[in-house]
Structure 1
Amino acid sequence: MTETPSPADADPYLEPGRLLFAGDWQFVSAAPTVEVLPPMQGMEIALAGRSNVGKSSLVNALTGRKALARTSVTPGRTQELIFFRVGPELCLVDMPGYGFAKAPKEKVDAWTRTIKDYLRGRVNLARVFVLIDSRHGIKPVDEEILDLLDKAAVSYAIILTKVDQVKPSALPSVIAGVEDKIRRRPAAYPKIFPTSSNTGQGFPELRAAVAQLLAEQG
C-alpha cells in the first residue's frame, strides 16, 4: 500500500516558510523617496497592487500579526514604501497602491517615480508579488505595473486575493485567465498564488515560495 505524501513531502519549503514568517517581524521605516530608503540588508521581496486589493491584510495574514500593517477603508492611504523585517535575512516591502489613489496628480506622479527608482536600483530585491483581485482579474491599470516590471527586468509573481469571494467552481478559470495574460511576459514567474486573508487559504504555499527564494539566494 502506497502512503499518501504529507504536505511537507510535497513541498520541502512549507515548514521553513512557516518558521520564517512565525519570526519576530518589525516595522523598519517608511520611505517617501529613494533618498531615504533603509540600507540594503539580506533579501527583499515587495508587494504591489491596486489600492483596494488588500495588501495590508495580506501582510498581516502572511506574518500572523493582526496589526503589523495598517489597513484602511480609504484606498490609496499608503503613500510610501513601507519596510518590515524579520532578522537580518529578509525584508518585506509594501509599495504604494496604484489605480484609485485619492491624491493630486503631482503626488501620484512622485510616487510613480519613486517606485521606478526603487525597482531599478534595489539590487537585493529578489521578487515583486503583484496582488490581483480574483473577482476582477488583471485590469489595464495592472498591465501598466507588469509592463514596468518587465522593462525593469524584475522577477514578479501574481498573488490572487479574496479567493473566498469567488465560487470554487469559477476559480480554475480565473487562474487560467491570469496565466494566459502573463504567459509571454519575460519577467513573470509562471506559478499563480490564490489566497484569502480571511480564511488563510494559500498562505502556506506563499510562505514556502519565499523560503525557497531565500534558500536559493543564500
Structure 2
Amino acid sequence: MADTPETQDDNTSGGPSPEEIEAGRRLFAGDWQFLTAAPTIETLPPMRTIEIAFAGRSNVGKSSLVNALTGRKALARTSVTPGRTQELIFFGLGPELTLVDMPGYGFAKAPKDKVDAWTATVHAYLRGRANLARVFVLIDSRHGLKPIDREVLDGLDKAAVSYAVVLTKADELKKGELETRIAETQAGLARRPAAFPTVFPTSSREGSGIGELRAAVVRLMAERGVG
C-alpha cells in the first residue's frame, strides 16, 4: 500500500545521513544472487521478504542501475536491444531484501500477444504482491516524463502502490539542465497520491546518486522493521 502524505513528508526531512549512506553501502555489498525469472503470475516465487521493484521504459537503464547498486558488473543482464527483458527477474540478498527487474514498457521486439501477456503479469504482480515495499520508476533524465510514463504512474496510483522516480543518465545533462529536470519531475508528482516526493538523479556510469538511492532503501527497510 502507498504511504500516506504525512509519512512521506516525514521520510524526506533532508538528505540521507552519512550513517545511512554507509549502511546502504554495506547492505548492497552483500552476496546478491539471481533467484528466478518469472514469465507468468503462476511462476512468481514465494513472498519471502520485502521487495523493491524497478520499472521504466525499455532501454532506460534498469539493469545497469541494479548492477550499479549492487556493485556487480553483470548481476542483471544489460542489452542494447530494447525490450529484451520479458520476465520479472528476481535477485535476492539472503532473507533481507529482494530486487525485481521488471520488463520495460513502451517498446519491445516481440509479438503483440506476448507483450500483452507479460504486461498482464506485471499488472497482476503490482496488484497482488503484499511484500512489495516500493517501485522505483526510472525516467531518462534527458527526456523527462513522457505520456507513457504518466500512464504507468496512473496505474500505480490506482493500485495504491508506493513509488518513487529515479532519473537515469544524469551525467548527460549539465548541472542547470538537471536541476530543471528534477524540478519539473517533482512538479509532475506533486498531486499523485502514491508518489514518494523525493526524485533521485543517478548515473550508473559515474556512480552519482547511487549512495543516496541505497540509503533510501535502507530507510525504507528500517520503516518496515527489516534489517
State the alpha-carbon separation in 2 of the partners of residues 30 and 137 from structure 1. 29
Could you tell me the TM-score, scaled by structure 2's length?
0.91
- The 2-side partners of 1:194 and 1:208 are apart by 14
Query: Which residue of the partner structure matches residue 10 of structure 2?
Result: none
Cα distance change, pair 212–97 in 1 and its aligned pair in 2 (3 A): same
Output the amino acid matched with 1:75: P
CA distance in 1, matches of 2:16, 2:59: 36
The Cα of 1:88 is off from its aligned counterpart by 0.5
Q: Within the alignment, does 1:193 sit opposite 2:200 as a pair?
A: yes
Residues 1:169 and 2:176 aligned together = yes
1:10 Cα deviation from its structure 2 partner:
3.2
**1:166-192 CA distance string (max 9 Å, x none):** 111211100000011111000000000
Counterpart CA distance in 2 for 1:188 and 1:149 is 9
Match of 2:41 in 1: 34
SS of the residue aligned with 1:12?
helix
Could you say what secondary structure the match of 1:27 adopts? strand
Q: Is the 8 A contact 2:60 2:138 kept in 1?
A: yes
CA displacement at 1:23 relative to structure 2: 0.2
Aligned-residue CA RMSD (Å) = 1.2
| Structure 2: distance between partners of 1:186 and 1:32 | 30
Task: Say whether residues 1:55 and 2:62 are aligned partners.
Answer: yes
Residue matched to 2:3: none
Instruction: Pick the aligned partner of 1:46 from 29, 42, 53.
Output: 53
* Structure 2: distance between partners of 1:11 and 1:126: 23
Aligned twin of 1:208: 215
Give the match for residue 135 of structure 1.
142
Q: Report the TM-score when normalising by structure 1.
A: 0.94
Match of 2:23 in 1: 16
Q: Aligned partner of 2:42: which letter? A: E
Q: Distance in 2 between matches of 1:12 and 1:191?
A: 19
Amino acid at match of 2:118: W
The separation in 1 between residues aligned to 2:68 and 2:45, in whole angstroms, is 24
Equivalent residue letter for 1:67: A
Question: Separation in 2 of the partners of 1:39 and 1:9?
Answer: 32
Aligned residues: 211
Flag structure 2 segments of 5+ consecutive residues without an equivalent: 1-14
Percent identical: 71
Alignment match, 1:5: none
Matched, 1:106 2:113: yes
Matched, 1:152 2:159: yes
- 2:47 & 2:89 partners in 1: Cα distance? 14
Cα distance in 1 for partners of 2:177, 2:143 equals 12
Q: CA deviation at 1:9?
A: 8.2
For 1:124 and 1:20, locate their aligned partners in 2 and report how far apart those are by CA, in whole Å.
19
